[in-house]
Chains A and B, each alone.
Chain A
């Protein structure tokens, strides 16, 4: 069988070994054209590929350039440095100071009212390309591709002892207080935008071409190279300009007001009101507390909010007592000492806990 197979194979192999059939047509032209076309296709493919790569490179460089140009001073790094503020001590020599304006000041020990902030930008320079008074809500839409950073401070992480000093992408410094939030955006329109909820202190890096605009609930504030305190909630926006200049525009009434250092405003749905004193909720920053027939309950609350004061009352009736008076560059110990002498109370301190004893007041 095997032999048979080989024989047929041999026969077929021999028969067809040199078998030829003449073609009825000459296809060479077609073949040559096809071969040339294929090589043309190949070279075209290389050209296309090279072209696409070049275009991609150009667009990448353009995007990079545009991005750099728009946010020349923005850094994508978000640094959150946690610097514990000094605790008040029994010697009454330390107080929270303008820590936000410069970290150098953080370790200062002051003995009185000797803090003098460098007011080096007293000029009201509001001649910007973007004017907050003309900024319509339509322009506020945050577009894609811009740097947006959000800082949210919970109750836990924004106590005075654990103050978060956050550096915005433009190198401005912010302190976000308890239960507050900042949403920072380097907008495509060329200004820096910070949406504020709660209490925030800012030290803005001045940049002529990129105005810094705070968005409160009731107003917009264009601020320049300064130290600024703002509290924004649904009821009202409260603010104190510590140094520099600021221009406030009411969202609905379009009322405009320029602030000078030391001035405070309250902006609610009815309009802008100039405040005589800085709001007590900014005391952590300003060191100022102002009371007029205020309950001890409120005062203790302020001390807790601003200085994380731990206060123990032996008699709940003390909360009903009223106090009037102002404090400047103050701290918990100073306030409580004055309070004690005015209301005939006794203050003792163990570690960081103040204990108040004495007779209270009737409602």
Chain B
């Protein structure tokens, strides 16, 4: 779906067109489930989050300014819904201290290894590995590495300290690398 088509559909949505809404939903729903599932444990939760997000999308479609792509706008709403979902059910917040992280302990990832992982690890497998991470690490990793938020933004979204976000990411990354390596992909 190109930008023009999207804009047309958005216009129709603003006029409360059911067809346009359905088209947008069908076009973006699989992608949004993939985003949402990284923030929760199972697909059912992910689908609930996406449903809630799409209700917000269509309710607030008039606020969409056409500045970014429609996909990234919806994606942000999905992420926000997922974070809200997490806030509602979270019980503890991991309080990491970055000073305790021994940077040297992390074995570095180089280009070769990265390419190997890229070829041999399916996104589904990678998703499973990410899902094995402690919840808050997972959220920080998702938001920082995949969604592209800064640690400052993450600290606001997750209501944690910026330093905590950084240390969470460092630990998440270390753990993920260990897990990636553990499934048998040799470094060289």
* Residues of chain A having any CB pair with chain B under 8 Å: 1, 3-5, 7-16, 18-25, 27-28, 30-32, 34-36, 38-39
Contact present for B145 and A13 (CB under 8 Å): yes
- The yes or no answer to B69 lying at the interface (CB within 8 A) is no
Residue in chain B with minimal CB distance to A37 = B55
Q: Which residues of A contact B86 (CB under 8 A)?
A: none
Interface size on B, residues (CB 8 A): 45
Closest Cβ of chain A to B98, distance in Å, is 13
Contact present for A8 and B146 (CB under 8 Å): no
Residue in chain A with minimal CB distance to B33 = A21
- The yes or no answer to B51 lying at the interface (CB within 8 A) is yes
Q: Which residues of B contact A18 (CB under 8 A)?
A: 31
Contact present for B58 and A35 (CB under 8 Å): yes
Q: Which residues of A contact B97 (CB under 8 A)?
A: none
Other than the given A8-B145, A11-B118, A13-B148, 6 more pairs (CB < 8 A) read A12-B145, A14-B118, A15-B123, A16-B38, A36-B16, A38-B59
Residue in chain A with minimal CB distance to B47 = A23
| Complex interface residues of chain B between 43 and 57 (CB less than 8 A to chain A) | 43-44, 46-47, 50-51, 54-55
Task: Provide the main secondary structure of the chain A interface.
Answer: helix
Task: Please tell me which one of the listed residues B31, B51, B54, B176 contacts residue A8 in the complex, with CB atoms under 8 A apart.
Answer: B176
Contact present for A23 and B30 (CB under 8 Å): yes
Contact present for A8 and B26 (CB under 8 Å): no
Residue in chain A with minimal CB distance to B26 = A28
Q: Which residues of B contact A31 (CB under 8 A)?
A: 21, 25, 51, 54-55, 58
- The yes or no answer to B154 lying at the interface (CB within 8 A) is no
Contact present for B55 and A34 (CB under 8 Å): yes
Residue in chain A with minimal CB distance to B177 = A8
Q: Which residues of A contact B145 (CB under 8 A)?
A: 8-9, 12-13
Q: Which residues of B contact A13 (CB under 8 A)?
A: 145-146, 148
Contact present for B33 and A8 (CB under 8 Å): no
Closest 5 pairs between A and B when the two form their complex, measured CB to CB: A20-B30, A19-B34, A9-B145, A35-B58, A21-B33
Task: Please tell me which one of the listed residues A15, A25, A32 contacts residue B118 in the complex, with CB atoms under 8 A apart.
Answer: A15
Q: How far is the CA of A7 from the CA of B113 in the complex (A)?
A: 10
Enumerate 12 A-B pairs (CB-CB under 8 Å) in ascending A order: A4-B108, A8-B145, A8-B176, A12-B145, A13-B145, A13-B146, A16-B38, A16-B123, A31-B51, A31-B58, A39-B16, A39-B59
Q: Which residues of A contact B121 (CB under 8 A)?
A: 15
Residue in chain A with minimal CB distance to B22 = A28
| Complex interface residues of chain B between 115 and 146 (CB less than 8 A to chain A) | 117-118, 121, 123, 126-127, 141, 144-146
Q: Which residues of A contact B141 (CB under 8 A)?
A: 12
Task: Please tell me which one of the listed residues A7, A25, A30 contacts residue B114 in the complex, with CB atoms under 8 A apart.
Answer: A7
Q: Which has the most chain A C-beta neighbours within 10 Å: B21, B26, B145? A: B145
Q: Which residues of B contact A36 (CB under 8 A)?
A: 16
Closest Cβ of chain A to B132, distance in Å, is 15
Q: How far is the CA of A5 from the CA of B101 in the complex (A)?
A: 15
Contact present for A21 and B55 (CB under 8 Å): no
Task: Please tell me which one of the listed residues B29, B126, B176 contacts residue A23 in the complex, with CB atoms under 8 A apart.
Answer: B29
- The yes or no answer to B171 lying at the interface (CB within 8 A) is no
Residue in chain A with minimal CB distance to B55 = A34
Closest Cβ of chain A to B118, distance in Å, is 6
Q: How far is the CA of A32 from the CA of B58 in the complex (A)?
A: 8
Residue in chain A with minimal CB distance to B51 = A27
Binary per-residue interface labels of chain B (147-159) against chain A in the complex, 1 for a CB within 8 Å, 0 otherwise: 0100000000000
Residue in chain A with minimal CB distance to B58 = A35
Contact present for A10 and B114 (CB under 8 Å): yes
Q: Which residues of B contact A8 (CB under 8 A)?
A: 109, 114, 145, 173, 176-177
Residue in chain A with minimal CB distance to B115 = A11
Contact present for B55 and A12 (CB under 8 Å): no
Residue in chain A with minimal CB distance to B170 = A5
Contact present for B51 and A30 (CB under 8 Å): yes
Q: How far is the CA of A28 from the CA of B141 in the complex (A)?
A: 30
Q: How far is the CA of A32 from the CA of B22 in the complex (A)?
A: 8
Contact present for B109 and A7 (CB under 8 Å): yes
Q: How far is the CA of A324 from the CA of B17 in the complex (A)?
A: 106
Q: How far is the CA of A34 from the CA of B18 in the complex (A)?
A: 12
- The yes or no answer to B5 lying at the interface (CB within 8 A) is no
Q: How far is the CA of A256 from the CA of B25 in the complex (A)?
A: 90
Contact present for A21 and B59 (CB under 8 Å): no
Binary per-residue interface labels of chain B (44-82) against chain A in the complex, 1 for a CB within 8 Å, 0 otherwise: 101100110011001100000000000000000000000
Closest Cβ of chain B to A36, distance in Å, is 8
Contact present for A32 and B21 (CB under 8 Å): yes
Q: Which residues of B contact A25 (CB under 8 A)?
A: 47
